[in-house]
Amino acid sequence: MILAVGLNHYLVLSALIFSLGVLCMATKRNAIGILIGVELVLNAANINLVAFSKYNAGVGDGHIFAVFVILLAAAEAALAIAIFMNFYNTLRTIDVDRGDELRG
């Protein structure tokens, strides 16, 4: 029965959220919007980890991985915000399209 939830449901959900995260990264011009997209992607990965832990691996490794991912995401967000502050101080805007000095 397709409505009975199994591992695949979680994985598909994760894939959708992942894609939405990528979409968010690709369409937001606000730097913090991109950061939000990254968080979505990480969350999608975490769902995978926890779902596998529940359905396949059994032991707590998936949980531990997810804890570390959350931790790294927090660290990354802190640094990213700091970088955005510098970005903003330099260019007086938070629009990432304006930071295109490296264009080809």
Contacts (CB under 8 A) with another protein, residues 2-61: 3-13, 15-37, 39-40, 43, 46-47, 50-51, 53-56, 58-61
SS3 string, 13-33, reads HHHHHHHHHHHHHHHCCEHHH
CB of 41 to another protein, least distance (A): 10
CB of 98 to another protein, least distance (A): 9
CB of 62 to another protein, least distance (A): 8
Contact 59, 53 (CB under 8 A): yes
**Rg value, the chain, Cα:** 17
Q: Interaction with another protein in 83-102: which residues (CB under 8 A)?
A: 83-86, 88-89, 94-97, 99-102
Task: Report the 10 Å Cβ neighbour count for 70.
Answer: 14
